[in-house]
Amino acid sequence: MIKRAREIARQFNQPNIYDSLYAALAELRVCEFWTADKAFYDAVKARLSFVKYLPDYP
């Protein structure tokens, strides 16, 4: 999972892997990952559709 998190961070030019770890876990578990990190969300939303932006929660 850490390897995948590093790949995600690298692919989307993220300076650290904090949110990428959660994204890798959500990808592994085939579930949504809700984040409040707007910069991370904006970077990945086009390619990682399971990543959602917390303020958009219904």
Indicate the domain borders of the chain: 2-56
Q: What is the pTM of this model?
A: 0.93
Name the average pLDDT for the chain: 97
Give dist(CA 34, CA 47) in Å, integer: 15
Burial track 31-55 (b if 16+ CB lie within 10 A, e otherwise): eebbbebeebbebbeeebeebbeee
Per residue in 27-45, pLDDT (tens digit) is 999 999 999 999 999 999 9
